[in-house]
Amino acid sequence: MSDLKRFDPGLAEKAEQLGCLPPEWLELIYGEKWFKIFVPKNLGGLGCALPEALRIEEKLAFTDGSLGWTVTLCAGAGWFVGFMEESLRNAIFSDPKLCLAGSGFVGGKADQAGERYRIHGHWTYASGALHASHFTANCVLLKNGNPILDAKGNPLVRAFILDKTEVTILDGWNYMGMIATGSHAFQVENLWVPLNRCFDIEPTKAQLPDLVYQYPFLQFAEATLAVNILGISLHLQELIAAAFWKRDAHREYSEKQQKYFQAIFEQQSAKLASLKSAFYDSIEESWIQLETKRFIAPATLKKISQLSRKLTHVCRETNAKLYPFAGLEAAKTHTEINRVWRDFATVSQHALLVFPF
């Protein structure tokens, strides 16, 4: 992995002003193939195992929230390569500047007529939309105007991949944090695409043999989001400690006050470190099971889901306890600590990890 010190910290402010990742960051991302973390090496990717990928994503999120989140979400969409038809993946993923933005929202309808689908819809929160080469979009399937139902009688939903020239990006990302993710909405109207643009991300439907495509999507998503929240939180806590001791140099806190802060900081840091260790241990356990048995035990998957949520919950709890010790500097706009706090306060709202169970 590249030395992240190559990232100029001053670019984080530039990224916020741009509302997307700056060219300097994108150049390094393309060079390091981070948008292709889960893409096989023969298609120009890194071909990472999940445990390795999660550590990369955590470090990127620690460096900058928008950076880590955009790479994680776009690389996560790139994971779909394992489920695409061969001619389609070969045509799309050969691009060294490939970047997929997508939305988990089921915002469209795809009506099959002969050898094509006609798609229309509107999707929200596509992180990386402003520099994406392609978009993924979930659609309810129809055939000649009639809904297609699954075995349980529910509408069948499938993902589609769309070229950036086929979508209209809508300026819909107006939130206080994660500004540089450019998580805008997008829409299509009356778009005709061939049948091979549709794919199913069930492990049993994987088109490539790599183990990472056998990993269940729910736990894959939970884990990748959790490490982003963790990385941002560790950065924030480091900044809070620095702000406290900087204030101490001017205010001269009493020894009792210093010890009070230090005790809380150490207690919360230890709690988070322990949970982080347990989280990564469960990920490693799941990967070993997948390597040796080609199967992950339900109990292991349940543990990963629980730890992903618990890790997020403890990050919220820890940040809330430590935040007041940073003083008004943390509330001052255009400071690093305020940006990181805003990023955390925004990203931790993700619906997938709201509850700690």
Q: Kindly list the structural domains of the chain, giving each domain's residue range(s) and its CATH number in brackets, ordered by start.
A: 4-83 (1.10.540.10), 102-205 (2.40.110.10), 215-353 (1.20.140.10)
Give the Cα separation of 92 and 219 in Å (integer).
26
Q: If 0-12 CB within 10 Å is exposed, 13-18 middle and 19+ buried, where does residue 289 land?
A: middle
* Contact yes or no for 299/289 (Cβ under 8 A): no
- 301, 303, 306, 310 alpha-carbon torsion, rounded to 10°: -130
User: From the DSSP assignment, how many helices (H) and strands (E) are in the chain?
Assistant: 9, 8
Helix (H, G, I), strand (E, B) or coil at 112: strand
Helix (H) or strand (E) holding 80: none
What pairing do the DSSP bridges indicate for beta strands 100-113 and 134-143?
parallel
Decide: helix, strand or coil at residue 99. coil
Task: Say if CB 121 and CB 154 are below 8 A apart.
Answer: no
State phi, psi for 210 to the nearest 5 degrees.
Answer: -55, 140
- Which is it for strands 116-126 and 146-147: parallel, antiparallel or unpaired? unpaired
Q: If 0-12 CB within 10 Å is exposed, 13-18 middle and 19+ buried, where does residue 312 land?
A: buried
Nearest CA to 231 out of 284, 279, 166 is that of: 279
- Please give the C-alpha separations between residue 319 and each of 75, 130, 178, 230, 346, in angstroms, as whole numbers: 27, 31, 17, 11, 13
Question: pLDDT tens digits for 177-200?
Answer: 999 999 999 999 999 999 999 999
Burial class of residue 278, CB neighbours in 10 A (0-12, 13-18, 19+): middle
Residues in the chain: 357
Distance separating alpha carbons of residues 292 and 257, to the nearest angstrom: 53
Give the other-Cβ count within 10 Å of 349's Cβ: 12
CA 347 to chain centre: 10
139 contacts 108 by C-beta, under 8 angstroms: yes
For residue 58, give Cα distances in angstroms to 52, 61, 68, 157, 181. 10, 5, 7, 31, 16
**pLDDT at residue 105, rounded to an integer:** 92
Q: Report helix, strand and coil shares of the chain as percent, to nearest 5.
A: 60, 15, 25
136-158: burial string, b at 16+ Cβ within 10 Å, e else: bbbbbbbeeeeeeeeeeeeebeb
Cβ–Cβ under 8 Å, residues 76 and 222: no
pTM: 0.95
Dihedral (CA of 109, 105, 222, 18) sign: positive
Per the structure block, which two tokens stand in for 198?
Answer: 């549709």
Low-confidence ranges of the chain (pLDDT < 50): 1
